[in-house]
Amino acid sequence: MCVLQKLVNAKYNLLWQESWPLWEIILDFLSSNNSPKLVKMLEKGSTRQREISIPIKDFYIQWIGLTSGIQEVRQLYHRLQQLKPLSLQFYKTYLDLEETQSIKKVKFIRQGYEDAVNEYGGLNPDLWLDYIRFESTHGKPENAGVLYYRAIKNLTGDQNTDFISKHTLIQTGHLHTES
């Protein structure tokens, strides 16, 4: 019996809540060997319980970004976007892949940020700051003010205070962000 088959069989003997490390070993093995079975495993894992599907989706979009073009990344993003839940890392990976293109497609990047803030906008001030930075440098600078007020409405407590402080420091040149 081959190593892959032993790993796959072992996966069935674990509780699904504890099986992600084994899934990760299988995916790493398949990707390092350029196995045609990798996509099948990624597709299967994308529909499993959240403990499996969330990290699989993160792995999947990053792998497509490394092995295919931006069109394939966009197709996968839109398909997986329908299979909630998604992690913040999933959105960040997608946005990084979009923003590293030599010709940036603002509408795709903006939609990625919108999707991310719809899911995580109440929890992550840095996400809002990244979105504002993007609009200020590559999108429509006039959207930055609207995003600021949306962030204020969505963030609560310490996240709101953190956002306001960081935004003020950025505006006054005392905190630098990546461009």
For 101-115, the pLDDT digits (tens) are 999 999 999 999 999
Q: Which residues contact 130 (CB under 8 A, 6 or more apart)?
A: 95, 113, 177
Per DSSP, the three-state class of 123 is coil
pLDDT surpassing 90 at residue 41:
yes
CA distance 170 to 168: 5
CA distance 103 to 12: 45
Q: pTM score, two decimals? A: 0.89
Express as a percent the part of the chain with pLDDT over 70. 89
Largest CA distance in the chain: 63
* Type of residue numbered 14: L
Q: What is the mean pLDDT of residues 153-163?
A: 96
